[in-house]
Amino acid sequence: MPRTINRITSETQLRELLGGRPAEQVVAKLADRLNDLTRRFIDASPFLCVATASPDGGLDVSPRGDPAGFVQVLDERTILLPDRPGNRIADTLTNLLTDDRIALLFLIPGVNDTFRVNGRAIITDERELLEPCAVGGKVPRLGLLVTIEEAYTQCPKALIRSELWNPERHIERSALPSSGAILRSLTDPEFDAEGYDRDRAARYARREGLY
């Protein structure tokens, strides 16, 4: 992109383009804890995105999912997110070792409102906390204990515009490159992408490695 792009560099410019400051009720919904109503969003959510920051200033967003209610509400200021087996890159976990800031975005299928939590997290292996998160008798090895600093609902406009939950807008997985095909394009042209995809699909069909 060779040409110079106009850049917004001040909040005054930004607010002018946005049409002013947020309405009072928008600011008023920001809370530093959960109540009986807002915790229901966490209880009903089977999926969330977790944002953390790395020591070099980089950012990372990672998905987390399980049956609804998998995030434990311990009290009005504390929630526990179990850590399930993944690819062991562990970006989220390694980031939290040096920067405890965390942001969570909870989604609920069929619901356009989302719920956001910002706070501080520690990594724990305390079994007493993790046992209620067991699935099929398998207790997670680790969990993220989050102290809430901000908790609030997010307006539904983005999900309304995207029609995220509209089945007519959903596409077939086959319309996109497979994981094996992407891996082959990034590594070795001789890589057996089809075999990789078959093995991967078979493992997930057996729910192998999920817990």
Query: pLDDT value at position 3?
Result: 84
Q: How confident is the model at residue 27, as a pLDDT?
A: 85
The tally of domains found in the chain comes to 2
Chain segment 136-178, per-residue pLDDT in tens: 999 999 999 999 999 999 999 999 999 999 999 999 999 999 9
User: 88 and 62: one domain?
Assistant: yes
pLDDT at 90 over 90: yes
> Measured between alpha carbons, how far is 96 from 103 in angstroms, rounded to an integer?
12
Q: pTM (2 decimals)? A: 0.93
pLDDT of res. 28: 83
- Same domain, yes or no: 94 and 155: yes
Q: Both 80 and 138 in a single domain?
A: yes
d(CA 69, CA 95) in angstroms, rounded, equals: 25
Between CA 14 and CA 31 the distance in angstroms is: 25
Query: Do 78 and 47 reside in the same domain of the chain?
Result: yes
Predicted pLDDT of residue 147: 99
Do 101 and 181 belong to one domain?
A: no
Model confidence at 30: pLDDT above 80: yes
| pLDDT computed for residue 117 by the predictor | 99
C-alpha to C-alpha distance for 155 and 130, rounded to whole angstroms? 32
Rg over alpha carbons for the chain, rounded to the nearest Å, is 20
CA distances from 87 to 53, 102, 209 (A): 19, 20, 10
Q: Does any domain span residue 9?
A: no
Task: Give residue 199's pLDDT.
Answer: 95
In a domain, 211, yes or no: no
In a domain, 154, yes or no: yes
Distance (Å, whole) CA 144 – CA 123: 5
Q: Identify the pLDDT of residue 1.
A: 67
Asked whether residue 83 falls in the same domain as residue 150, the answer is: yes
Query: What average pLDDT does range 125-141 have in this prediction?
Result: 96
pLDDT at 86: 87
One domain for residues 84 and 135: yes
Instruction: Note down the domain range covering 80.
Output: 22-162
* CB within 8 Å of 80: residues ≥ 6 apart: 71, 72, 74, 129, 130, 133, 143, 144, 145, 146
CATH of the domain at 115: 2.30.110.10
Q: Which residues is 209 bridged to in the sheet?
A: none
Based on the domain organization, do 82 and 154 belong to the same domain? Answer: yes
